[in-house]
Amino acid sequence: MKPTMVVLAGPNGAGKSTLYKVRVAPSFAGPFINADIIQRDELRDPSPEASYEAAQIATSQRAEYLAQAAVLKADRGMVFDNSRLNQPANHCLTFSDGRLVFALPHLPGWIRSVYATDLII
């Protein structure tokens, strides 16, 4: 079995935690890196200072996973956009063995930026 990584990215309130609970967690045993959870469960400190510390911890943990490289190295990597308020996550890209096999005709700017060199079918 090849390693699997799911990346949910977006601003506060975008629905990342809800998407994880509803769609990802039931079928995925990987870690969920969330600064709010780190602050609540690990630091146990509700102060603004702890919020910044939790964000730094989460950033360090996320850096270990290198999302773009993982998507490209997986047997099948899918990229979803959940940046629109009150809208379900939108499947935008699929890679198979590092090759782009599906892309929406109109991609969000952040996807075009992150995957600019990989958007050739």
Contacts of 75 (CB under 8 A, 6+ apart): 2, 96, 97
The two tokens of residue 103 are 């892309």
- Cα–Cα distance, 51 to 92 (Å, whole number): 32
Q: How confident is the model at residue 56 (pLDDT cuts 50, 70, 90)?
A: very high
- What domain range is 111 assigned to? 1-30+75-120
Q: Is the pLDDT reported for residue 110 higher than 90?
A: no
Contacts of 18 (CB under 8 A, 6+ apart): none
pTM of the model: 0.51
Secondary structure of residue 63 in the 3-state scheme: helix
Within this chain, do residues 68 and 83 fall inside the same structural domain, yes or no? no
Within this chain, do residues 24 and 42 fall inside the same structural domain, yes or no? no
Within this chain, do residues 25 and 59 fall inside the same structural domain, yes or no? no
Q: What are phi and psi of 24, to 5 degrees?
A: -95, -55
Distance of CA 21 to the CA centre of its chain: 13
pLDDT one-digit tens code per residue, 30-45: 778 889 899 999 999 9
* pLDDT on residue 10: 81
- How many domains does the structure of the chain reveal? 2
